[in-house]
Structures are given as structure tokens and as C-alpha cells.
């Protein structure tokens, strides 16, 4: 209940409309739901009921104070395109977020490394091969940042790298997507050490395949493929050659 004892001025002179503002502290994000019920009782202050006017349908508008608001905690955190020295991590976008903090460390150690992102995805670099990392994410908003996601996710980097791409057998080199981010059609580039049967698949963040180049025998040497991706978003390319699989992420603007 909010009680206001002073006379309220009219919002607009000559129109019987008044407004008042008050502040309250909400529970932490996602901790519980809040229901509002409103009843206005306008009184003349003479101690009696005559002239008092109860109204069961006032207009109530709720605003969040951006200066003190607490961000929601990221969820649905996942990873893909893992190499010996990098990994692509992503999570559900949080309403009101202006950025995110990512922290990661080898399992069993105590010191976190950090990275930042303006979007709900990040390619974390500088990792060590054959190492299991734990990582979690924090939302940054105009008020207080959220807690880090409570349960750290884990990933394990691959054993070896050539030009930054994990290789289980050395059949492909210089695997990349350019430009990245891409305004037009991104191009997949790679070099085969020997003639190989090659297949290229492109997936979106939900894991849905959006395009595929059917398996075909390709000669040794450098190859380039233009990808017909129209919808903006984050994707990753899977290249399969010589019994090995390689992956890399890219952004389509």
C-alpha cells in the first residue's frame, strides 16, 4: 500500500487526471514471479466518506530503473568449432544486455582468464591443446551485472593444430572463411595435401544444416567455395576430408 497525503496537481490543467510515482525492489531475476493488483482510493482528507472516490481500474505502468537494474543470467550455454587453441562458445541472448563477460580456466586450476563480447557468442583464443577448460558467462547491462552462470560448462581442446585448425590426420591445411564477418557471400578456403573426397556442410546455431556441398573427389591443392547464405546470423562450416572433420565459425551480416 502506498499512501500519499499531499494534494496532487492535475497532470493537465482542467483535466481530472493525476499521477504519482513510487519505487520498489524486485526479487532477483528468474527467482520468482510478481503479480500486481491495483485499487485507487482518492480522498478529500476530511475524515469522512463523502467525496471520496474508489477506482478499481487505475492505470499502473511499471518501469525498470536502468541505473540499478540487475541483468538476467545467461543460459543455454554451448560450444562448437573447437581446435587445439580456440573454441567458439555461445548462449541465449539476455534482454537488456549491453555485453557479456566470459571467464575460463583449465579444470583443476584457480585462476580465470577473461574475455568480453558485445554479442551472445565469442571465439575464445589462446587455449592450450589437449586441455579441458571450464567456462561460464556473465551479462553486463546498464545497471549491476548478473552473476556468472552457476554451473561451469566444459570443453576439451584438440591435440594438434595447423594454421589454427585442429587436425586428426594431416590432409587439410589453411582452412578458413573470409571475409569474417561477411556482408556478402562468405568464401570457404582450404588446401588439400592429397586428392580427397570432400564434403562441406553449413549449420546455424540451433544445429540445423542450412546448406551442403555433396561429397566429391577433389585434387590436391588450394580450393575456394562461395557460400550462398542470405540470413544474417552466426554459422559454422564443417569440412570433411580424408576421414577427418574440421569446423570453423563465421558471422553473416
pLDDT digits (tens, 9 = 90+) for 184-232: 888 888 888 788 888 888 988 877 888 887 678 888 888 888 888 888 8
Query: Is a pLDDT exceeding 50 seen at residue 121?
Result: yes
Residue 144: give its domain's CATH number. 2.60.40.10
Sign of the torsion formed by the C-alpha atoms of 163, 167, 170 and 172? negative
How does pLDDT run across 72-82, given as a tens digit for each residue? 888 888 887 67
Between 34 and 124, residue with greater pLDDT: 124
Residues 124 and 181 in one domain: no
Domain boundary among 132, 156, 180: 156
Specify if 120 maps to a domain. Answer: yes
Residues 247 and 187 in one domain: yes
Residue 218: give its domain's CATH number. 2.60.40.1930
Residue 111 pLDDT class (50, 70, 90 cuts): very high
**What range does the domain containing 121 cover?**
78-156
Residues 143 and 170 in one domain: no
From the list 189, 193, 195, the residue with the least C-alpha distance to 227 is 189
Residues 104 and 146 in one domain: yes
Specify if 55 maps to a domain. Answer: no
Specify if 242 maps to a domain. Answer: yes
Residue 131 burial (10 A CB sphere; 0-12, 13-18, 19+): middle
Tell me the C-alpha distance between 9 and 15, whole Å.
Answer: 10
Residues 192 and 148 in one domain: no
Domain boundary among 105, 121, 156: 156
Residue 161: its pLDDT value, please?
A: 47
C-alpha cell at 92: 541465449
Q: For the chain, how many structural domains are there in total?
A: 2
Answer yes or no: pTM beyond 0.75: no
Domain boundary among 126, 156, 186: 156
Residues 147 and 197 in one domain: no
Specify if 220 maps to a domain. Answer: yes
Query: Is a pLDDT exceeding 50 seen at residue 2?
Result: yes
Tell me the C-alpha distance between 210 and 72, whole Å.
Answer: 31
Query: Is a pLDDT exceeding 50 seen at residue 166?
Result: no
Tell me the C-alpha distance between 71 and 84, whole Å.
Answer: 33
Amino acid at each position: 500500500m502506498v499512501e500519499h497525503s499531499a494534494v496532487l496537481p492535475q497532470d493537465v490543467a482542467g483535466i481530472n487526471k493525476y499521477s504519482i510515482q513510487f519505487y520498489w525492489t524486485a526479487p532477483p531475476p528468474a527467482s520468482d514471479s510478481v503479480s500486481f493488483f491495483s485499487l485507487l482510493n482518492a480522498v478529500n482528507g476530511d475524515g469522512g466518506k463523502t467525496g471520496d472516490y474508489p477506482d478499481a481500474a487505475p492505470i499502473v505502468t511499471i518501469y525498470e530503473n536502468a541505473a540499478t537494474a540487475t541483468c538476467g543470467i545467461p543460459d543455454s550455454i554451448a560450444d562448437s568449432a573447437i581446435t587445439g587453441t580456440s573454441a567458439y562458445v555461445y548462449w541465449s541472448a539476455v534482454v537488456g544486455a549491453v555485453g557479456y563477460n566470459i571467464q575460463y580456466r583449465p579444470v583443476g586450476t584457480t585462476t580465470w582468464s577473461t574475455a568480453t563480447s558485445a554479442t551472445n557468442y565469442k571465439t575464445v583464443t589462446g587455449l592450450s591443446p589437449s586441455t579441458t577448460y571450464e567456462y561460464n558467462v556473465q551479462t553486463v547491462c546498464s545497471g549491476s551485472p548478473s552473476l556468472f552462470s552457476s554451473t561451469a560448462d566444459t570443453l576439451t581442446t584438440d591435440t594438434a593444430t595447423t594454421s589454427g585448425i585442429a587436425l586428426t590426420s594431416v590432409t587439410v591445411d589453411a582452412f578458413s572463411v573470409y571475409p569474417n564477418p561477411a556482408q556478402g557471400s562468405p568464401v570457404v578456403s582450404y588446401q588439400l595435401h592429397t586428392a580427397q573426397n570432400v564434403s562441406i556442410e553449413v549449420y546455424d546455431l540451433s544445429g540445423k544444416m542450412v546448406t551442403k556441398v555433396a561429397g566429391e573427389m577433389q585434387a590436391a591443392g588450394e580450393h575456394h567455395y562461395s557460400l550462398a547464405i542470405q540470413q544474417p546470423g552466426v554459422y559454422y562450416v564443417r569440412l570433411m576430408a580424408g576421414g577427418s572433420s574440421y569446423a570453423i565459425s563465421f558471422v553473416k551480416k
